Amino acid sequence: MKHLYPAITRIALTIALIIYNVVANSQTLNFNNPVVESGTDLQAGCIYRFKSVTTNGLIDALVKIDSLVGVTLSGIDATPSGSSSTAFQPQLSSLGGLGYHYSVFTINFVNKGTTTPANVYNFSSVFMGIDGSNQIMEFNSITVANPTWEYVSPTPKVAVTQNGNTVSGIATSSKPTGGQGIDATDSTQMFKVSTASTSSVTIRVGFNQTQNGWNGNDLFSLNMGGSEIPLTTLPVTLVNFTTQLANEKVWLAWATKQEDNLSYYSIERSFDNKEFAQVALLFPAEDLSTGNNYSYKDPVNNVKAPVIYYRLKMVDKDGKYKYSETRTVRMGGINSGSAKLTTWPNPVVNELHVSVPPKWQYQTVTCQLLNTMGSIIKSFNMLQTATIGMADVPAGTYYLKVANGKEISTQTIIKSRN
């Protein structure tokens, strides 16, 4: 969440970003295209319906504006260029004056097309971009039954407290200029709240204004996750799951520790991270008591989409199933993979060495390190070789993309903690 001075300059995060796998065990709740259910748009008392927020589309969310204190609401779910289309993102405008300015929303989950309450299981919520400037300090809170909470980063810049069923966080650091963009990898400005199941949550978002005269906009972002049915614990322990583009094929590889009672793996693919379809089905190895390694190459030479999303559906012999985390492959153009990019070591801890394809040498090459949501982490030009400092990059999966103006080559990079 970032301040807008006065126009929107915030680069919002999408759920998958990140959150450094803190919502890996639940599906993203999609908040988009709200319609007014009752009341006056953007005024207290108005109720909006967000349709089909769950993956299977069986649950809607009814969002009510409970109160507006010292602010007007300029957007119930603002989605400026570059921002998330799945997070709930209210945008507030200050009316000026010192003190606390905020809005309160109640979110009720209901069966699709009705007002009948429906439970969302394994519910999680992550407030993002909680920061401050020389004029305001942001805060937010969530009230939900039986919550637990945790910091996303070991070095948080947010102070979190819990009072009963209410968990609150407030920024503890600020910049003199504050709010000029957002670091897509900065987990220090986030905190996560979870509960086993809920049909209703109340959130408060706002800021403490410390100087008179400020009347800018402030955009808040809350990523939520959950599922329509209780998650089932399967006797499958997935050690890792990776995807890599090479020679017009996506190579999927995964490893397990044990697979007791496992029936099969379904490899599912999506071009929008919403609608997934099965592209292959693999049966497990004969020995399920110990770990096994699997791989599959998916031909994508005719795929026109710029990004492909993959996940594993792991099904046991009783028909129960669960999903892996979603992996992303950026196509980068028809010539991706036609020229071999060399990187080492991979996985990397501190320094990543890069060497361009031989036929690219002595050409000016642009190089970008991207996270799994496509946000640029590092960007620079190189000739033949380069060394990328990775010590400041959080552990996870990244993509290195290099281009010489005509051809593009990409490679998956794994950043290890040690």
pLDDT tens digit sequence for 15-71:
233 333 333 345 889 999 999 999 999 999 999 999 999 988 899 999 999 999 999
pLDDT tens digits, one per residue of 372-400: 667 788 888 887 788 888 888 888 888 88
Domain range annotation of the chain: 5-228, 237-330, 342-415
Q: Do 196 and 101 contact (CB within 8 A), yes or no?
A: no
- In this predicted structure, the answer to whether residue 201 has a pLDDT above a threshold of 70 is yes
How far are the Cα atoms of 10, 17, 147, 230, 355 from residue 196, in angstroms, in the given order?
32, 23, 8, 8, 48
The answer to whether the bond into 147 is cis (omega within 30° of 0) is no
Q: Do 191 and 117 contact (CB within 8 A), yes or no?
A: no
What pLDDT is stored for residue 101 in this prediction? Answer: 92
What pLDDT is stored for residue 71 in this prediction? Answer: 93
Q: Please provide residue 212's backbone torsions phi and psi, each rounded to the nearest 5 degrees.
A: -70, 155
What pLDDT is stored for residue 25 in this prediction? Answer: 42
- In this predicted structure, the answer to whether residue 338 has a pLDDT above a threshold of 90 is no
- In this predicted structure, the answer to whether residue 94 has a pLDDT above a threshold of 50 is yes
DSSP 360: G
What pLDDT is stored for residue 185 in this prediction? Answer: 59
Q: What is the mean pLDDT of residues 137-161?
A: 91
- 237-330 and 342-415 have identical folds: yes
Cα distance from N-terminal residue to C-terminal residue, the chain = 31
Place of tokens 């200050």: 94
**Burial degree of 379 (CB within 10 A; 0-12, 13-18, 19+):** exposed
Provide the CB-side half-sphere exposure for 361 (13 A, CA): 7
- In this predicted structure, the answer to whether residue 183 has a pLDDT above a threshold of 60 is no
Query: Distance (Å, rounded) from C-alpha 268 to C-alpha 158?
Result: 37
Q: Which two tokens stand for residue 350?
A: 């501190």
* pTM tops 0.85: no
Least confident of 47-51, 81-85, 222-226: 81-85
Calculate the average pLDDT of the chain. 81
Query: Which of 418, 381, 415 lies closest to 398, judged by CA?
Result: 415
Report the CATH superfamily, name and number, of domain 237-330. Immunoglobulins (2.60.40.10)
- In this predicted structure, the answer to whether residue 402 has a pLDDT above a threshold of 80 is yes
pLDDT tens digits, one per residue of 239-274: 888 888 877 888 898 888 878 788 889 999 988 888
- In this predicted structure, the answer to whether residue 188 has a pLDDT above a threshold of 70 is yes
Place of tokens 């299981």: 121
What pLDDT is stored for residue 4 in this prediction? Answer: 44
- In this predicted structure, the answer to whether residue 339 has a pLDDT above a threshold of 70 is no
Report the CATH superfamily, name and number, of domain 342-415. Macroglobulin (MG2) domain (2.60.40.1930)
What pLDDT is stored for residue 159 in this prediction? Answer: 94
What pLDDT is stored for residue 52 in this prediction? Answer: 94
Query: Which of 378, 416, 375 lies closest to 397, judged by CA?
Result: 416
Place of tokens 């939520």: 224
Q: Do 242 and 327 contact (CB within 8 A), yes or no?
A: yes
Place of tokens 């301040």: 3
Q: Please provide residue 362's backbone torsions phi and psi, each rounded to the nearest 5 degrees.
A: 75, 10
User: For residue 316, which amino acid is it?
Assistant: D
pLDDT tens digits, one per residue of 341-363: 788 888 888 888 888 777 777 77
